[in-house]
Amino acid sequence: MKKKFIVLGVLFATFGFTKMNAQINFGDKAIGAVQKGITGFTFSNADAAALSKAAVDKMDTEHEVASATDPYTVRLNRVFGKYTAGDGFTLNYKVYKLKEVNAFATADGSVRVYTGLMDIMDDNELLAVIGHEIGHVANHDSQDAIKAAYKKEALMDAAASQSTTIATVTDSQLGKIGSAIIDSKFSRKQEAEADLYSYNFLKKNGYDVNAEESAFRILAKMSEGSQASFIDQMMSSHPDSKQRAEDAKKRAEKDGLYKPYVQQKIVNTAPAAKTTTTKKATTTKKATTKKK
């Protein structure tokens, strides 16, 4: 049986293998740079967000997205839905109904969580994982990754084109950007900082910080025995899950908050409907005796 894994901090895991129809116009500045063959023009965070949104919108049409009333969506909104405002970005959440164990967040603030992840992690562990993903957005790792991909792939091809009227990201260029993002890896430093962001999020909002260690222990156990897998290649430059679990434990110990974490019940089903039993009122007539 094939083991399932989560790739933390990897954007657009399937994006590079799909055909994109979206085109994005980055304005006169980009047009001028393309016409002159300049590869160093300013690519803003807003540009990165626009490109990310186009990619995620396309992905949403290609995956089964849980409806607003689906129990998985209800759970995700209950657990994390109230956290929508970040420092300079706005978050939006959706659930992909896929058995793979995965989650990602992109430069525009889109967070996508797979049902496979929600099936194996409780609410606190889920918070830790999503917190890590959001950490990459908050720390501008996601923005930097897509900027690098755009400059390396899309702009180089666009600079070689003969177009003098519009600067767009075409289907093939988006495909190259997706592939570049898949091939790129967050550094150990970036991963560690995203882990710290997640820990601080749990601590700040009164959650059990030990859930972060627990989440990494789950991933470490799932990784045992895997050999030369796609996931191994993706994670080759990152700290392994066991080490990240140890780091999370040390943070909790330093804060005097450490205790072995006990996973809570995982509920991805709709709450049972309440049944109301109506008792029929019975009136007992009291016999009265008239005095003669």
Single out the catalytic residue among 62, 100, 125, 133.
133
Q: Is 229 exposed, middle or buried (0-12, 13-18, 19+ CB in 10 A)?
A: middle
pLDDT digits (tens, 9 = 90+) for 108-125: 898 999 999 999 999 999
Which pLDDT score, from 0 to 100, does residue 178 have?
52
Q: Which residues have a Cβ under 8 Å from the Cβ of 148 and sit 6 or more positions away?
A: 180, 184
pTM of the prediction?
Answer: 0.74
Task: Choose between 230 and 280: higher pLDDT.
Answer: 280
Active site residue 133: yes
Confidence at 126, pLDDT banded by 50, 70, 90? very high
Give the pLDDT of residue 161: 46
Q: What are phi and psi of 226, to 5 degrees?
A: -75, 140
Helix runs in the chain, H state only:
27-36, 45-62, 71-80, 115-118, 123-138, 141-149, 155-160, 171-183, 188-204, 210-223, 230-234, 241-254
Is-contact 195 251, C-beta < 8 A?
no
User: Cβ(235)–Cβ(13) under 8 Å?
Assistant: no
